[in-house]
Amino acid sequence: TSLTKPNKETYKLVLRAWARTKTKHGAVKAEALLEEEPAYFDITDYNTVLAAWAKQRNGFRAQTLLEKMPHEPNDASYGTVMNAWAFGLQPDKADRAYALFKRTQNERAACNQVLAACCYTPRRAGPDERERAWDIAQRVFYGMKETKKNERSFGFFLQACDLLVHDDDDKKKELLVDILRRCCREGLVTKFFIERFAQAVKQDDKETILKELGFCPETLDIPVEH
């Protein structure tokens, strides 16, 4: 008895099944299907496989697939690969995410993904890579329209400042306070944000700074007007 050749829909179903296993093996098998019958798959299918690699935090595989896609990548494609870089362990991931950022049109999501890549720069990164990540974080954050920033934008930038600016740098305190003031002004302060701020600022300065801005240093309660 002759076997029926799988059709387009069958390939799509199997691809999605492999991609959703959240395993490296599943991502490999899903990408192999793209290569086996490329004409069967559209941009959504390619993005599904990009997401499978992003779940593995494998920016290299995601980027490689992005560059050889037969379809024009869309914002979802770029955003997915930026996520793969952002949560991976590559020391230069901020640079890699920033390069993709310049190719996308979705400002808020793309900015936050680059900021995430900066603030999660691994501690094993060298001085040059850390300095570059901080430069990118500032360029992206200060370049965003205020209306495009959300609590994630402020949170990622605060963490980037804490991680990438040396504690001995006299400007660190000024930078942290400026980020908090901006966040207050936009009404985007959350309990998590203020707790993160309290951890980042020097303990000798914490009580004075928080009191000046109307926060309770002991409970970190957010003032009603914020």
Convert the pLDDT of each residue in 58-74 to its tens digit.
999 999 999 999 999 99
pLDDT over 60 at 186, yes or no: yes
pLDDT at 219: 65
* Mean pLDDT, residues 132-146 taken together: 95
226 falls in which pLDDT band (50, 70, 90)?
very low
What is the per-residue pLDDT for 9? 96
Residue 53 · residue 62 · CB < 8 Å: yes
Q: Give the residue-averaged pLDDT of 125-148.
A: 94
Whether 182 has a pLDDT exceeding 50, the answer reads: yes
The model's confidence at residue 192, banded by pLDDT at 50, 70 and 90, is confident
Nearest in space to 224 (alpha carbons), one of 181, 179, 184, 193: 184
Average pLDDT of the chain? 91
Phi and psi based region of residue 28 (left: phi greater than 0; alpha: psi -120 to 50; beta: remaining): alpha
Higher pLDDT, 223 or 72: 72
Q: How far is 105 from 103, CA to CA, in rounded Å?
A: 7
Residue in the block written with tokens 């798959």: 41
pTM, rounded to two decimals: 0.86
Mean pLDDT of 145-169: 92
pLDDT digits (tens, 9 = 90+) for 67-99: 999 999 999 999 999 999 999 999 999 999 999
Contact by Cβ (8 Å): 157, 119? yes
For 19-51, write each residue's pLDDT tens digit: 999 999 999 999 999 999 999 999 999 999 999
Q: How far apart are CA 74 and CA 5, in angstroms?
A: 31
Q: Is the pLDDT of residue 126 over 80?
A: yes
Residue 133 pLDDT class (50, 70, 90 cuts):
very high
> What is the per-residue pLDDT for 224?
46
User: What pLDDT, on a 0 to 100 scale, did the predictor assign at position 202?
Assistant: 83
pLDDT at 209 over 90: no
